Chain A
Amino acid sequence: MAAASVASPVPHLPTSTSTSITPASNTSTSTSTSSATSDMAAATSKSSWIALGCEGSANKLGIGLIRHTTTSTTILSNLRHTFISPPGTGFLPKDTALHHRTEFVALARRAIAEAGISPADVDCICFTQGPGMGAPLTSVAIGARTLALLWDKPLVGVNHCVGHIEMGRDVTGADNPVVLYVSGGNSQVIAYAEQRYRIFGETLDIAVGNCLDRFARVLNISNDPAPGYNIEQLAKKGTKLLDLPYVVKGMDCSFSGILASAEALAAQLLQLGPEGAGFTTEDLCFSLQETIFAMLVEITERAMAHVGSSEVLIVGGVGCNERLQDMIASMAKERGGSVFAMDERFCIDNGIMIAHAGLLAYRTGYRTSLEESVCTQRFRTDDVYVEWRD
């Protein structure tokens, strides 16, 4: 397919890194003593690894430490510090990046202390390489590079979406689910096939979380702890379903038209008040959720029918929403399957998922050199060669 060969717009992005590093085969009996490969040899004979993960693709700075053994995964620490902007505003790249730069050192120190290990015990430093907002990504990457150079540890660049998926599989025990990844920056329906997470459906314009966040701004709904959470609480009290556009195209969907309609209704509400408009803030939140979640369930169901799977895993910040979880669970049950949902520790962006996915790649021999450790706002889920799965 011609489109498959279209290169990423960022030339130094390691889209084909899968082949750039010697894979450490598990049957390898390498006895190489050269210093350049010593840590590779160590990776094959070791039975326990520790990774530190740094996440900062949006407004959450997350640092976590994880330990893998050949059979188990242990979370040593998982800390997060969120940049919360005042009601009516969003988080701007500049301010968010400043927040991450300011908090990085303190959070890294606390994460190490809470894990009860010393930097010498860490095998690799993992960081989010994309996708996300440029300035915050870069700030955190600088932090990660600094730690790597300071402690003389290899770097592992991680795709944010793959981090969510791998953490979800590990926490829930879902083996090969259809993944609904819904957050402030991404909305995708994904299934694994032949060493890649394939995108079956996705948003054609803005992400579902972005739609919710921007809607919250119009009504001055608080960003603390998250706009989506506050919309969810308001929606629980809503009763009236307002007519909003419903845009599904096969396995893709679109949210910008819904946002525009919801914003217009919100403006009407602000101007006329609930009596004049004939509906309340709660009704509007309720209608928005019912409509966009129905769309997400529909594309998920279509993907399940297409790939013949009955398991669904929900990841990403919007995945915390209990109404969405209930709807997906009801659909999966009707198809004779089940849903795997995660709690807010893992659904919301965190460092541990970056550490986890990074360590999986590290154990197959994957490294990101300092020269290659640039971030990119555009980094497709299916660009990652998934060497650690069958």
Chain B
Amino acid sequence: MAATASEAVVHEFPLPAILTNPASTPPTLITQGAEGRLYKTTYLLPSIPSALKYRPPKPWRHPILDQRLTRHRILSEARILSKCRRDGLRVPDVYALDESAGWLMLEWVQGTPVRVNINQRLGNRTEDIEDDEELKDLMRRIGSAVGKMHSIGIIHGDLTTSNMMLNPPAGKAETDNVSGLEGEVVIIDLGLASGGVHDEDRAVDLYVLERAFGSTHPRAECVFGEVLDAYKKSFKQAGVALKKLEEVRMRGRKRSMLG
């Protein structure tokens, strides 16, 4: 459910039943990804904003299979988010869910996707990017957040700069931070995440991030090393995972086709 699909929001969709409740704050459709739709609404009080991830039924799938997949994915994401919170990794809190109705309600994380902040920061610049200390510091915060996630046994499965929010420090309005890089990195969208402590899985996770970063921010590729440096310092096994990353890079998508 990456924010890259925001342009695809072209036509009206029927709202999920939960959002048609008369007490609901009118929701805003934020994005339509491949998996489902993300709405902004509120939880319990009109002053508590929340994110509703809705996985609508896919009519082309067999209803039993559709139910099974939707249930599994919602429960799995909720369990993984709870585990992250328990182990001290900052991710959105789980407010409520209904796996048979296909929705998961999460804390609304203030801020912007890291992708937006990096692109704003880069603007049209082509020089001095490798000396941008603030940018490098952001890279290190990304590396630490990913390291922390791996250290508690979670593999994200779809790490991109769209799947991380930069949560501005308290007291700062959302819009003030767009050009700045301060704030906490909050990993979001763990819909494809799984539990895992294998170095191989960790390395593949890093490889996915590395490739996504390179294609999203080609000019900032020179500072990506900071992510890996910070990652290395973040937990004991990190060095082994990084060693494995070199192997994964060699393999890449260059698998041969047979038959």
Contact digits for B186-197, partner A, Cβ 8 Å, 1 yes 0 no: 000000100000
Chain A residues near B192 (CB, 8 Å)?
Answer: 249-250
Contact digits for B44-65, partner A, Cβ 8 Å, 1 yes 0 no: 0000000000000011111011
- Establish whether residues A298 and B7, one from each chain, have CB atoms under 8 Å apart when the complex forms: no
B125 within 8 A of A: no
Q: How far is the CA of A2 from the CA of B250 in the complex (A)?
A: 6
Q: How far is the CA of A202 from the CA of B259 in the complex (A)?
A: 14
Q: How far is the CA of A297 from the CA of B252 in the complex (A)?
A: 24
B26 within 8 A of A: no
Main secondary structure of the interface of B (DSSP, over half): loop
- Establish whether residues A326 and B60, one from each chain, have CB atoms under 8 Å apart when the complex forms: yes
Contact digits for B238-259, partner A, Cβ 8 Å, 1 yes 0 no: 0000000000011111111111
Q: How far is the CA of A298 from the CA of B36 in the complex (A)?
A: 11
- Establish whether residues B62 and A290, one from each chain, have CB atoms under 8 Å apart when the complex forms: yes
With A294-B61, A378-B257, A379-B257 as contacts: A308 and B10 at CB distance below 8 Å: no
| Shortest Cβ distance from B192 into A: residue | A250
A4 within 8 A of B: yes
B182 to A: closest C-beta gap in Å: 30
B214 within 8 A of A: yes
Q: How far is the CA of A131 from the CA of B259 in the complex (A)?
A: 7
- Establish whether residues A335 and B8, one from each chain, have CB atoms under 8 Å apart when the complex forms: yes
B11 within 8 A of A: yes
Q: Which residues 179-208 in B have Cβ within 8 Å of A in the complex? A: 192, 208
- Establish whether residues A241 and B64, one from each chain, have CB atoms under 8 Å apart when the complex forms: yes
Contact digits for B213-251, partner A, Cβ 8 Å, 1 yes 0 no: 010000000000000000000000000000000000111
A385 to B: closest C-beta gap in Å: 17
| Shortest Cβ distance from A131 into B: residue | B257
- Establish whether residues B65 and A291, one from each chain, have CB atoms under 8 Å apart when the complex forms: yes
Chain B residues near A335 (CB, 8 Å)?
Answer: 8
A184 within 8 A of B: yes
With A210-B259, A378-B257 as contacts: A304 and B34 at CB distance below 8 Å: yes
A56 within 8 A of B: no
With A291-B65, A305-B8 as contacts: A207 and B259 at CB distance below 8 Å: yes
With A294-B61, A326-B60, A330-B60 as contacts: A185 and B257 at CB distance below 8 Å: yes
Chain B residues near A298 (CB, 8 Å)?
Answer: 34
Chain A residues near B254 (CB, 8 Å)?
Answer: 3-4, 6, 380
B10 to A: closest C-beta gap in Å: 5
Chain B residues near A294 (CB, 8 Å)?
Answer: 58, 60-62, 65, 69
- Establish whether residues A331 and B58, one from each chain, have CB atoms under 8 Å apart when the complex forms: yes
Please list the residues of chain A having a beta carbon within 8 angstroms of any beta carbon in chain B: 1-4, 6, 9, 58, 131-133, 184-186, 199, 202, 204, 206-207, 210, 241, 246, 249-250, 290-291, 294, 297-298, 301-302, 304-306, 308, 310, 326-328, 330-331, 334-336, 377-380
**CB-based closest 10 A-B pairs:** A3-B252, A185-B259, A378-B256, A302-B34, A330-B60, A305-B34, A327-B60, A305-B5, A290-B62, A131-B257
